[in-house]
Amino acid sequence: MGLSKTIWSNPTEFIRNVRPENPVIFFSPSVLQAAARRFIDGFPGMVTYAVKTNPSEVVIENLAAAGVRGFDVASPGEIRLIRRLAPDAALHYNNPVRARAEIAEAVELKVKSWSVDSASELEKLIELVPADDCEISVRFKLPVAGAAYNFGAKFGATVELAAQLLKRAAEAGFIPSLTFHPGTQCTDPHAWEAYIRAAAEIGREAGVTVARLNVGGGFPNHRLQAVLPQIDETFALIDRVATEAFGDQRPMLVCEPGRGLCGDAFTHAAKVKAVRDGTHVFLNDGVYGALAELPLVGIIDRIEVVDGEGRPRQGALEIRIVFGPTCDSVDRVPGELMLDEGIAEGDYLIIHGMGAYSIATNTRFNGFGDLTIATVLSLKV
Ligand SMILES: *Cc1c(COP(=O)(O)O)cnc(C)c1O
């Protein structure tokens, strides 16, 4: 993966000058910092960043510069990354299943907040983690819809089990907290309402005052032109419901967005290698590369086509099927895209809102995946 040192005005200036043969992902530090400020100013609690979403050093550094003081980490590798780039930041180790060696390393690196969703993993933490000043946050799940991809399928205790775990964590001397994740790209703010009300129930059931409530990630980014992310409305709803549900026992709130922070700070450009018999568009990137998430979360319709000179094509739209470069037949953008009828070999397909789960999950399958990161002042084509 190459990182170009120059700062370009916008993606098309880069395309005109470089004519990249490899896929490029354009990063706008100012868009990222503005997203961070929107969360810090608007969210009624502490804002942390889910590192897995995009662990690029430029992302971590810009978020830290914008005032993000906490990070949700899932592995010793992510813990070491943050300790190196933001040494004083709070680390929330919110992967609820850990090997003993991973726990030992995290204790060594001064992790003070741990999530858990099972009795066996809780006993492991109680055995291996010194309780003083340390938080254990019980992750629970509800059968709630609203997200593009449900995170409750793998992690999260039922409400009943969560109450038992919370009680046990408090009795063992840990700071007792709760956490949930409504699922990624969650466009329905009411998913948070159900979770926050259930959290208050869990606290009452356990007879424990919940110190902090982490309302997860899940905040959407702008994928579909017609669906604007309702971030401020969601913040207001979380604030109101937390007070209603907990009254004077309201816990401190934490959020851990990934996509909501970095999704719109990156725009992706793939070169058209060929248009096979007028209908099948073959790109130099696909689902084994930076477009890995499209089959899981759905296609983005914020797409533009520019020619090899970087000039936007502005013709009528026609149906095209879009494939990635590998020889695997699943390497195809889901569904059919409406693209400019004149799309031709040597053009570039530009997809906005591609900062989340793209760089991090890019593979080298079939010898592709050589992704360049280019910094731009503006993401406008
Ligand atoms: C992936 C993840 C996040 C970030 O989710 P987004 O939907 O990208 O905001 C936050 N918390 C946990 C525990 C996660 O696993």
Residue 148's pLDDT is what? 72
Together in a domain, 217 and 283:
no
> Which atom of ligand 1 is nearest to 256's Cα?
10
pLDDT class for 358, splitting at 50, 70, 90? very high
Cα 6 to middle of ligand 1, angstroms: 31
What confidence score (pLDDT) does residue 6 get?
87
pLDDT at 146 over 80: no
Give residue 184 CA to ligand 1 midpoint distance, Å. Answer: 7
Whether residue 85 is found in the same domain as residue 17: no
Q: Indicate whether 147 pLDDT > 80.
A: no
Instruction: Let me know whether 98 and 217 are in one domain.
Output: yes
- pLDDT tens per residue, range 297-307: 999 999 999 99
Boundary-marking domain end, from 262, 288, 317 = 262
- 350 pLDDT more than 60: yes
In angstroms, what CA-CA distances link 192 with 52, 146, 241, 253, 304? 22, 10, 9, 12, 33
The number of domains in the chain is: 2
Contacts of 92 (CB under 8 A, 6+ apart): 48, 70, 71, 72, 73, 111, 113, 114, 115, 137, 214, 254, 256
Query: Chain-wide mean pLDDT for the chain?
Result: 96
Residues 10 and 33 reside in one and the same domain: no
Rounded to an integer, what distance in angstroms lies between the CA atom of residue 88 and that of residue 104? 20
What is residue 31's predicted lDDT score, i.e. its pLDDT? 98
The model's pLDDT over 237-261, given as tens digits with 9 standing for 90+, comes to 999 999 999 999 999 999 999 999 9
For residues 74 and 219, membership in a common domain is answered with: yes
CATH code at position 20:
2.40.37.10
Averaged pLDDT, 341-356:
98
What does the alpha-carbon distance between residue 113 and residue 369 come to, in Å, rounded to a whole number? Answer: 35
- Counting ligand 1 atoms within 8 A of each CB, the residue from 43, 47, 49, 53 with the most, and so the one to mutate, is 53
Question: Residue 153: its pLDDT value, please?
Answer: 72
Q: Are residues 209 and 284 in the same domain?
A: no
Residue 48 pairs in a beta bridge with 70
Could you identify the atom of ligand 1 that is nearest to the CA of residue 95? 13
Tell me: pLDDT of 228 over 80.
Answer: yes
- Residues 246 and 282 placed together within one structural domain of the fold: no
Please state the atom number of ligand 1 nearest to the C-alpha of residue 94: 13
Answer yes or no: is pLDDT of 2 > 60.
Answer: no
In this prediction, residue 273 has a pLDDT band, given cuts at 50, 70 and 90, of very high
Is 54 contained in some domain? yes
**Does 62 lie in the same domain as 18?**
no
Q: CA 212, 215, 218 angle in degrees (round to 5)? A: 160
Same domain, 372 and 271: yes
110: pLDDT strictly greater than 70? yes
Residues spanned by the domain of 257: 29-262
Tell me the CA end-to-end span of the chain in Å, nearest whole number.
23
Question: Would you say residue 155 lies in a domain?
Answer: yes
Averaged pLDDT, 328-350? 96
pLDDT category at 144 given cuts 50, 70, 90 is confident
Q: Residue 344 domain-assigned? A: yes
Given 245, 262, 279, which residue is the final one in a domain? 262
Give the Å distance between the CA of 154 and the centre of ligand 1.
13
Cα–Cα distance measured from residue 132 to residue 369, given in angstroms and rounded to the nearest whole number: 45
With a cut of 80, say whether residue 333 has pLDDT above it. Answer: yes
With helix as H, strand as E and coil as C, how does the chain read? Answer: CEEEEEEECCHHHHHHHHCCCCCEEEECHHHHHHHHHHHHHHCCCEEEEEHHHCCCHHHHHHHHHHCCCEEEECCHHHHHHHHHHCCCCEEEECCCCCCHHHHHHHHHCCCCEEEECCHHHHHHHHHHCCCCCCEEEEEECCCCCCCCECCCCCCCECHHHHHHHHHHHHHCCCEEEEECCCCECCCCCHHHHHHHHHHHHHHHHHCCCCCEEECCCCCCCCCCCCCCCCHHHHHHHHHHHHHHHHHHHCCEEEECCCHHHHHHHEEEEEEEEEEECCCEEEECCCCCCCCCCHHHHCCCCCEEEECCCCCECCCCEEEEEEECCCCCCCCECCCCEEEECCCCCCCEEEECCCCCCCCCCCCCHHHCCCCEEEEECCCCC
Q: Which among 234, 256, 357 is the best mutation to test ligand 1's pocket, defined by most ligand atoms within 8 Å of the CB?
A: 256
pLDDT at 232: 96
Average pLDDT over residues 138-142: 96
- Average pLDDT of 268-272? 98
* Residue 276 contacts residue 315 (beta carbons within 8 Å): no
Look at residue 3 in the predicted model and tell me its pLDDT. 57
305: left (phi over 0), alpha (psi -120 to 50) or beta: beta
Share of the chain above pLDDT 70, in %: 98
Which of 207, 229, 262 represents a domain boundary (last residue)? Answer: 262
Which protein residues touch ligand 1 with a CB less than 6 Å away?
50, 52-53, 72, 94, 181, 184, 216-219, 256-260, 356
Residue 110, domain CATH: 3.20.20.10
Is residue 381 in some structural domain?
Answer: no
| Interacting residues of 271 by C-beta distance below 8 A, sequence separation 6+ | 20, 21, 23, 283, 284, 346, 347, 348
pLDDT at 198 over 80: yes
Residues 174 and 239 in one domain: yes
Most informative mutation of 47, 97, 138, 184 for ligand 1 (most atoms within 8 A of CB): 184
| Model confidence at 231: pLDDT above 80 | yes
